[in-house]
Chains A and B, each alone.
Chain A
C-alpha cells in the first residue's frame, strides 16, 4: 500500500473485493435455484402488493385532484353553506340564507383583483312532489343534475366543448329554452349521434341542445357529476324552476391575484349580506387547492394504514430472505472457516453474504416491480376508474426498498458468518 496515494489503492482493493463478493454470491445463488427462487418469490409478492396498493391509492387521489382542478385553479367558490353544495345542509348551517345570482355583478364591479364571476344556480331534481327527468325520443335519464349558469360560466370553469357552443348573454336575456349537456347526458339521450340542434324534454318542457361538453378527465371512483349536467341559461332556470335557490358563485381572479380576490369577495359578500363586524361570515369561500388539501388530510391516514397493511407482505418477504441466508451460512460454515483460516477478512465475509442477500432481494424487487406494472396496466384497462399504473417513484422506491429489505434481513446471518471462529468452523460437519 502506497503511503503517498492511499486512496487509489484502497479504492482498487475495495473494487476487487466487491467483485469477488458479488461472484461468490452469484455462484451460491445459482447452486440453489429452487431455494433462491422461492426467496425471490416472497419478495416479489411483497413488492407487488405494496406497489399496486400505493399506485391505486395515488391514482385515485390524482383523479380526485383533477376533478377539483377542472373547476378552475384561479377560481374562488362561494356558497352559503360549508361543504358540498349537492349534499343536504349539515347541522351547522341549515338556517343560512343562500347567495343570489345578483351578487355576481357587484363582486365583478367592486373587486379590483376579480376578473369575472360565474353563476351556477342548482335546481333540485327531486322534491317532495316530483322528480325531474330528461327525455328525448324513447330515451330517458333520471340522473341529471340541472343547473342554471351565466353565459361566462363555461369560460370561467374552463369547460371544454365536444360540440356546439356555450350560451350568449342574449340567450340569457331572452330566457331562451336552450341547454348545454354533459357528456353522459348527451349519450343517454341521443346515443352516439349528433345532439346539437335537437330538442329534448326536461320536466315536461322543451329545450334545444346548443352544446355538448367534453367528457371530464377527473373522477371520484369513476364518476364525475359534471358529465351529468343539463346547463340552462340562469334566467331560464329561474323562470322555469322558481324553487331553485342554492347558488354557487365562481369568482375568477386576475392571474396571480387569487388571494386578493378572495379577500375582496369576502368583504363585498359581507357587505351585501349585512354581516356585522363582530360576526363570522355566513358563507363559505374555498378554492380547488383547499378542497384538495382537505381531501388529502383525510386520505393521508387511510393511505398510511393501507400501505402499512400491504407492507406486512414485504416484511414477510424479508423474513424469507433472512431464512435463506441463515441456511446458506449454516451450510457453508466449513467454507467460511477455510476462507477465514487462509486470510480472508471478516469484513469480506460479511460483504459476501450481504451481497447474496441484496442480490436475492434486488432480483425480487425487479421482478415485483415488473409484475406490478403489468398487473396495473391490465387493471387499468379493465377498470379505468381505478388507475393503477405505478408512477416512477413507486417503481424506484419499490426496488430500493426491496434491496434495503434484503440488506437488513441479511445482516444478521452475515454477521453470524463473519464472527465464526475459524477453528470451530473448520471442525463443523
Chain B
C-alpha cells in the first residue's frame, strides 16, 4: 500500500471515529469519564509522590545544605545493620582535630570545611530551662556552607572562633522556651555551667526526618571544647568553592583525607563521605515504597476503565453491524474496519485521558495552594497519563475490533 493511501486510511479512520463518538455522545462521554477517573487518579498519585520527594529535598537541604557533603567516622543514609555498623567502626578511626587542620591546609581554594561536635545538654536562662538543647560546636565557616536561616542577629565571626568567644546562636524552639516574653538577643544563656551571649536567632525550621531542627545552640568550637572536652570524633561539613562542579571538591576532600591518613593506593577509605544525594536517596526510597503500594491500586482503576471503554465500543460495533456489512460488501478491507474501531476506542480514551489529566492538574493546584504545599503536576506526568489513556484505548478496542472484522458479510447485511 503506498504511503499516501495509508495516511488517508488513518485520517479516514479518525474522521469516522470522531463521527461515531459524536453521534453517540452520551455513551462515549461515560466511557471517557471512566478513563478520566483512572488517569486523574494516576496523575494525583504521581504528583503526591513528587510532593514527598520535593519535601525530602527541601528538608535535607535545610539540615545539610544542598551542595554540602559530610565527612565522618560513620555516616550512612538510613539504617544500617548492626554488623555493618560494627565493621565501619572497626575500619574507620575517629576523626581528630589535627587531621582536620592538616586537611584544611591541603584544601587550596577548592573546599571549605566546618567541623561539628554535638551533644545534648540542658540550656538555662533566668529561671527557665530547655532540656534538650542540641549544643553544637562549629566554626564561622559553617554559615557559608549551610543556610542557617538566621533571622535576627548574626552567626559568629572568625575572630570569635579563634578565641572561642562565649557567644551562641540559638534555634527557634530554644528561644521560645527560654525567652517567651523578651528579646533573646544580647541576653545570656547557660550551657554546662558557662555563660553565653545570644548573638543570633534562627528561623523556625521544622523537622527533618523526624528530628527537630529548632533545638540547636551553636557555639564556637573552642568554647564547646572548654565546656564539654574534646569530642571523640569530629563530623566535618564541607563545600566545594566557586562555580566548579561539586565533584571536584569531593575528590579534593577525599584525596586530602587519604593523604593525611597515609592510605596506600587501592586501600579503602577509612572515613565515610556522605553526599546530599545519598541522604536524599533514603527519603526517595521511602516514597518509592509508597509508590509501589499505590501503583497496583491505580492500575486496577485503569483496568476497570478499560473494561468500560471496551463495552462502549462493543455496543458501537453491534449497532453498526449492518453498516459494517455494507462497507465490507463495497470493498472495505478488514484492516480498515479494524482501524476504524480501534480509532474510535482510542479517541474516547484520549478524550478521557486529557480531561482526567486536566482535572487532576486543577485539583492538585487547588490543594497545593490551599494546603500551602508546593506540589505541581509535571509535564511528564501529564504525558504519562495521556499515554496510559491511549494504550488503554488500544487494549479496550482490541476485542470489539476483532469482532467487527470477523463479522460474516452476508449475516451482517441481513442484520437489522
Q: Chain A residues in contact with chain B, CB under 8 A?
A: 34-35, 38-39, 41-42, 45-46, 48-49, 53, 91-95, 125-126, 128-131, 142-143, 306, 309-310, 312-317, 319-320, 322-324, 326-327
Contact = CB atoms under 8 A, between A and B. Distances in A.
Nearest to A56: B293
Interface string B286-330: 000000011001101101110110111011001000000000000
Contacts of B122: 95
A316 B27 contact: no
Interface string B32-47: 0110011001000100
Given A35-B314, A42-B34, A93-B131, 6 more contacts: A35-B315, A129-B89, A310-B297, A312-B41, A320-B308, A327-B315
Given A313-B301, A326-B27, A126 B307 contact: no
Contact of A142 (B38, B82, B215): B82
- Which A-B residue pairs are the 3 nearest by beta carbons? A320-B308, A323-B30, A316-B304
Interface string B110-134: 0000000000111000000001101
B298 A309 contact: yes
Nearest to A38: B311
B353 interface: no
Contacts of A45: 300, 303-304, 307
A313 B312 contact: no
A83 B208 CA distance: 19
A320 B314 CA distance: 13
A131 B83 contact: yes
A320 B37 CA distance: 12
Contacts of A42: 34, 304, 307-308, 311
Nearest to B293: A306
B76 interface: no
A38 B294 contact: no
Contact of B34 (A95, A309, A320): A320
Contact of A91 (B132, B293, B297, B304): B132
Interface in B49-84: 81-83
Contacts of B26: 326
Nearest to B94: A128
B249 interface: no
Contact of A309 (B41, B215, B307, B318): B41
B120 A323 contact: no
A309 B295 CA distance: 10
Interface in B207-248: 211-212, 215
A317 B303 CA distance: 10
Contact of A126 (B82, B215, B318): B82
B373 to A, nearest CB: 15
Given A53-B297, A316-B304, A323-B308, A125 B132 contact: no
B297 A49 contact: yes
A128 B307 CA distance: 59
21 contacts: A35-B318, A38-B311, A42-B34, A42-B307, A42-B308, A45-B300, A45-B304, A46-B300, A46-B304, A48-B300, A131-B82, A306-B297, A312-B37, A313-B297, A316-B37, A316-B38, A316-B301, A320-B307, A323-B27, A323-B311, A324-B311
B231 to A, nearest CB: 13
Nearest to B89: A128
A92 B311 contact: no
A296 B300 CA distance: 27
A253 to B, nearest CB: 31
B85 interface: yes
Interface in B4-53: 26-27, 30-31, 33-34, 37-38, 41, 45
Interface string B83-96: 10110010000000
A302 B272 CA distance: 36
Contacts of A131: 82-83, 85-86
Contacts of B312: 323
Contact of B307 (A38, A95, A322): A38
A92 B131 contact: yes
Nearest to A37: B311
B176 to A, nearest CB: 15
B351 to A, nearest CB: 14
A326 B134 CA distance: 67
Contacts of A38: 307-308, 310-311, 314
- Taking each of B34, B120, B132, B311, which has the highest tally of chain A beta carbons within 10 Å of its own beta carbon? B311
B304 A320 contact: yes
B312 to A, nearest CB: 6
Contacts of B303: 45, 313
Contacts of B311: 35, 38-39, 42, 320, 323-324
Contacts of A143: 82
Contacts of B45: 309
Contacts of A326: 26-27, 30
A183 B278 CA distance: 37
Given A35-B314, A95-B120, A309 B294 contact: yes
A400 B7 CA distance: 51
A230 to B, nearest CB: 14
B120 A94 contact: yes
A126 B38 contact: no
A317 B304 contact: yes
A149 B286 CA distance: 36
A108 to B, nearest CB: 31
A48 B308 CA distance: 16
A367 B285 CA distance: 37
A92 B132 contact: yes
A273 to B, nearest CB: 15
- Taking each of B83, B134, B211, B307, which has the highest tally of chain A beta carbons within 10 Å of its own beta carbon? B307
B296 to A, nearest CB: 9
A41 B307 contact: yes
A130 B89 CA distance: 9
Contacts of A35: 311, 314-315, 318
Contacts of A324: 311
A38 B31 CA distance: 13
